Structure 1
Amino acid sequence: MDTLVYSLIRVTLMILIFRTVIRLMGGGFSTRSIRRNQRQPITPTNVESTETEDPKPEPPTMVTDEITNEPIAESKAYILLDKEGNRRYFANWDSRQLYIQSK
């Protein structure tokens, strides 16, 4: 049983050593073809225009806090739905709680 374990360890080490030597020598055939494709010179045909693909981000939608009347971005506001289904926006949790307590 010990000889089987030692044989497996020896084979595993040989495979690891072989892979390391291959990597040090140049990485193998598939890696060379990948490297060759990555080293292409930059020409107008293979450069993509970033101006047409990246639209400018839209400014955030601004809403008004119900209690303090300060403008805040809708994405950062605390939102509460009232009984009629209308959205109420708040700049912080305390403003939201004051609104709830006043109703």
Structure 2
Amino acid sequence: MWEETWGSGAPTHLITSCEPTAPPPLKEQYTKTMFSHLVSVLCLLEHDEEYVFTLPCAYARSILTVPWVELGGKVSINCAKSGYSATVTFHTKPFYGGKVHR
């Protein structure tokens, strides 16, 4: 569990927790790695609101050559008090073709 509070401007509080996931199948271990199921809570103390949001998966690509990280998946943001919610989708680059929706 990681916790941080910012002192400038409106009081804000962020709590993040991580749960380990199962390792990827053996055939994919040499080409990519995935970190998922990250959940955070953003507390806006000035408005007395707590926003619970998931974080996108982080994929480590090309780990045998020049490694780079790619974010992918859906992020949901919810506030129980205000009823606000949103969903954001991060598209990953396809294995063949290099363009999304192809």
TM range (shorter): under 0.3
Higher RCO (C-alpha under 8 Å, 6+ residues apart): 2
Bigger-Rg structure (1/2): 1
Give the TM-score normalised by structure 1: 0.21
Structure ranking higher in strand proportion? 2
The TM-score normalised by the length of structure 2 is 0.21
- More helix as a share of residues: 1
